[in-house]
Structure 1
Amino acid sequence: MAKEAGIRKLPDGRYQVDIRPDGRGGRRHRRIFPTLREARYEKNRILARADRGEEWRRQKKDTRRLQDLIDAWHRLYGITLKDSGNRKRQLDFVCGLLGNPVAASFHAEDFLVFRNARLAAGISANTCNHYLSYLKAVFNRLIKLDNWKLPNPLQKIERLKFDESNITYLETGQIEALLSELAKSSRNTLLITKICLATGARWSEAETLHVEMVKDGLIHFVGTKSGKKRSVPVDDELEREIKENRKGTGRLFIGTHIKSFSSGLRRAGIELPRGQRSHVLRHSFAVHFMLNRGNILDLQKILGHSTLDMTLRYAQHHPDYLADAVTKNPLANLKKN
């Protein structure tokens, strides 16, 4: 039998494919097969891929661990996010709980087992959804950057559905008691609380305000969660109180004051569900705004929500919310007759 180019019969009867698909100076491809038929198939397959301009070399196995992918994601993309530090800490935390597996061996089932364990430990479905979204985003971004060649192992996992919790807000009497307690302990904490109640600002937005952001009857919030600037009007008394708190320029409040706020809540006898402390003032503003017949579209702009759906959760507190149900039901028709 004539010798076939690119295939050599070995002394033990096996056949070795030995070709350079990219030409004489190109990379060499060698593999051994038990039969000539298998060797020919391999030779033709590799040469055909090379002719089509496709990658024919066997890819090296990706041995990186999940933490390596998280670090790569943060270095290449995550660092540009507004909350990059917090996101990285949460991803590192989840990675630790998962045991930092080899990423190529990390499958959907692994995450589902982990999620069920977290739910059994009392972690909320919403928090577990955050875990899923953050990890999905890591794989999706690295795939887009051509840094990860395999599919996203979490792509087909859906977010958990759960009943929306009731909005926790402070009633008028509770607000009075809280302001009274804060007035006894910390002027800065009292003023931050007032700003949140008057504008619907997040605690972090109010706490990091600069003097120059308060002028002409408006508080200008920048560096917000959405990244968009928004301006909210305040009355003369609050503007004067803010400007008297600190002269010149720079931050209005030095340091952090959330612990002082928590202490004020306890002294005022206000108990809140877990995780509601920092948002209760924002919720209180929104609920009282609607109770006072405020416009839902105005509320959306004040809160800086990107979609109206985010604001509609407060609509139920409007006095006229679904009021037509009383007069336009079939029993009401019977009464008219």
Structure 2
Amino acid sequence: MTWNELWEHFYYHLRIKRRAKTTLHFYRTTQRSLQRYADATGALPESPAAVTVTHLRAFLIWLEDQGLAPGGIHAYVRGLKALCGWTHQEELLPRNPAARLERPTLPRRRLPTMTPEAVGRLLAAASATDQPVRDTAVVLALFDTGIRLAELIGLTLDDLQPERGLLRVIGKGDKERSVPIGSRALGAVTSYVRRERRARHAGVRHLFLSRLGQPLTRSGISIRLSRLSEAAGFAREMTTPHTFRRGFAVEFLRNGGDVFTLQQILGHSSLEMTRKYVTFLDEDLKAAHLRFSPVDRL
């Protein structure tokens, strides 16, 4: 069996399991990088059955030499472990060469988090764009709901439930859930639908559209956020969709929400996943210390 055949078996399994397109894209990126390594070095056996953990470790070292950060290498390890684990389980490989493949240690740094002050600056920048009502609605919807980028661009007009203050969202694994949306964000979205949304034809039901009346894509949202961040004076990494998602989680808890409700809103299968998104800011830690300082209470 060739590498391409092995990957195709794996992709068929992922499609049967109804994995998201972004998940398939992640594994295809791993496949392409592994092929580039094989072409550049000739160090990867042509038959997957002959691969050992030593070959895979050499691939990771090559990635590091190419300048890839530990987080990126960690992702490739996850991809290789998933591929090799499944193909061994299905008896397509005689053994699992990735069973002893180590994940690199990741630095524990606080990730960028959107704040209400930053949102205010983004809204000011959005008011000066070519589609100010849409861009305002996108910013407020991201910050008020914490939905993922794929979930945002997948919203349709039928997913709006203004009378209930909810959005119907299709998340990872094709799982449906209801996400609350506040009155201000909902007002911005409905205002966009009434005033600025112009579909190219009646069959276009997606909520957020480009100037040409077609559904906005991942790159389209990325370009809009990049331009807004530049106009507002932010570094690009401060305004990624996941920055909004983390900011929503922090503000939800800061304003009195509970972690179990937050888990349902974010669409997480476990509380551990939710915890990773919650990065409290310095002022929260300081406020807690003022209340509970051991020395001050002596």
Q: TM-score under structure 1 normalisation?
A: 0.69
Deviation at residue 264 of structure 1 after TM alignment: 1.0
Deviation at residue 219 of structure 1 after TM alignment: 3.0
- Is 1:210 the counterpart of 2:147 in the alignment? no
In structure 2, which of residues 53, 63, 76 is the aligned counterpart of residue 108 of structure 1? 53
Q: TM-score under structure 2 normalisation?
A: 0.78
What per-residue deviation string (whole Å, max 9, x for no partner) do you get for residues 26-55 of structure 1?
xxxxxxxxxxxxxxxxxxxxxxxxxxxxxx
Percent identical? 20
Deviation at residue 294 of structure 1 after TM alignment: 2.8
What per-residue deviation string (whole Å, max 9, x for no partner) do you get for residues 128-165 of structure 1?
222122222222222333333x1011111122222232
SS at match of 1:164: coil
- The number of residues matched between the two structures is 267
| One-letter amino acid matched to 1:89 | R
In structure 2, which of residues 14, 20, 23 is the aligned counterpart of residue 82 of structure 1? 20
| One-letter amino acid matched to 1:210 | T
Q: Which residue of 2 aligns with 1:305?
A: 268
Distance 2:293 2:206 in 1: 54
C-alpha contact (below 8 Å) 1:70/1:91 kept by paired residues: no
C-alpha contact (below 8 Å) 2:168/2:177 kept by paired residues: yes
> Please, which runs of 5 or more residues in structure 2 have no aligned partner?
39-43, 195-201, 209-214
Cα distance change, pair 143–105 in 1 and its aligned pair in 2 (3 A): closer
Higher relative contact order (CA 8 A, sep 6+): 2
- Is 1:192 the counterpart of 2:128 in the alignment? no
| One-letter amino acid matched to 2:180 | P
> Please, which runs of 5 or more residues in structure 1 have no aligned partner?
1-63
In structure 2, which of residues 200, 205, 210 is the aligned counterpart of residue 250 of structure 1? 205
| One-letter amino acid matched to 1:79 | R
Q: Which residue of 2 aligns with 1:263?
A: 227
SS at match of 1:114: helix
Q: Which residue of 2 aligns with 1:175?
A: 119
Cα distance change, pair 260–324 in 1 and its aligned pair in 2 (3 A): closer
Q: Which residue of 2 aligns with 1:134?
A: 79
Q: Which residue of 2 aligns with 1:323?
A: 288
What per-residue deviation string (whole Å, max 9, x for no partner) do you get for residues 193-234 of structure 1?
211111111122112211111112333343212543222222
RMSD: 2.9
